[in-house]
Structure formats: C-alpha cells, structure tokens
Amino acid sequence: MALPPELFGFLEELKDNNDRTWFQANKSRYEEQVKSPLLAFIGGFDERLQRLSPHFVADPRPVGGSMFRIYRDVRFAKDKSPYKTAAGIHFRHERAKDVHAPGYYLHLEPAGDVRSAGNGPVPTIYRLRTQPSMHLGYVVQWGMSALTILFLYILIIRFLDRRAAMREVERTGSGTAVAEL
C-alpha cells in the first residue's frame, strides 16, 4: 500500500513541463507511476476505512472513484496550465452524490507535501459554527462522529509516518525507525 517515490518525481517533472505535448509523450509514465499506484492505494485503504466507519467509501474506479482527475478545469482560471501538479484522493460518504458531501481528502504534492482533512458541505459547516445545536442532527444524518474523524486522521498520519520511516531505512539502511511504528 506504499506510494512509490516515482509518483512524486513525475509530479515534480510535470510542474516544470505542464503542457499537452510533454504530458502526451509521458502519459504511459503517468499511468504507471501515478494513476496505478494511487488506485492500488485506494483499493487497499478500503478495508481500513470500513473498520473506522462503514459510511465512508474508498472507490478505486479510475473514473468516478476516489481519485481526482489530473486535468484542471481552466475555463475561468487565469492560470491555463492543463494539468494538476498534485494528486488528490477523496473518501466520500456512502450517501454522497458529489464532492460537497462529507468526506476525507488526502492531498499529495512533490517535495513531500502531504495534507489530509475532513470536510462537509460549506453551508452546513457554516450553520454548525453559527448554530451548534445542529451538530447532533448532522452527525445522525451522515452517520459521522468526531471519534471516526479522529481515527481516520490518526490512521493517515501513521501511514505517512511509516512511509517516512521507510524512506529513512532506504537512505540509511537502518530498520529501527520502522520497528518503532
């Protein structure tokens, strides 16, 4: 379930060559080094996600699944770069019809920038902040709990810590960091 370093290498190269000609010439590398490992990660994460909350889904389908597409929507953007230079994964709620439903987001960028977050619909989050009494109804509606969010966050952090430890093992040849995790 580990993500290969080539994934970040490809995204770094894409940052420097963000145009259609370069991407088309390197599309097979994208499929092999980015898309396939991400889909495998998503597929492998499903069982762990189900243990945390049966209401969230890790969908490894290449289209319409948990992985965000590489193509940017440039219609109204000043930056017309056609490709995203980061990988995004969204574990949506089972009742979700679109990206605005509650879920967990994992953002992977070159140079080891990895972020994760839980999210919900913006109007609902606003109402939760201004009307705290709505919180219980929101939890019941989506089957979420603060404990579920905390466990997923810990699981992602542990995975990322293990990944960093594995890189340290590859760099130094010492296995003590992995044993501690």
pLDDT in tens, 95-154: 777 666 677 888 888 875 555 555 544 444 434 334 443 333 444 444 445 555 555 556
Give the pLDDT score at 45: 87
Residue 73 has pLDDT above 70, yes or no: yes
Residue that wins the pLDDT comparison between 143 and 78:
78
> Hey, where are the domains in the chain?
5-180
In tens, the pLDDT along 26-54 reads: 999 999 999 999 999 999 888 888 887 78
Residues in the chain: 181
Q: How many CB atoms are closer than 10 A to CB 104?
A: 25
Distance CA 115, CA 156 (A): 10
Q: Which of these, 15, 4, 72, lies nearest to 38 by C-alpha position?
A: 4
The 103-109 sheet, strands edge to edge: 56-57, 87-93, 103-109, 113-119
- The number of beta carbons lying within 10 Å of the beta carbon of residue 131 is 10
- Residue 25's pLDDT is what? 98
Give this prediction's pTM: 0.64
What CA–CA distance (Å, rounded) separates 109 from 16?
14
Which residue in this structure is represented by tokens 């994964």? 89
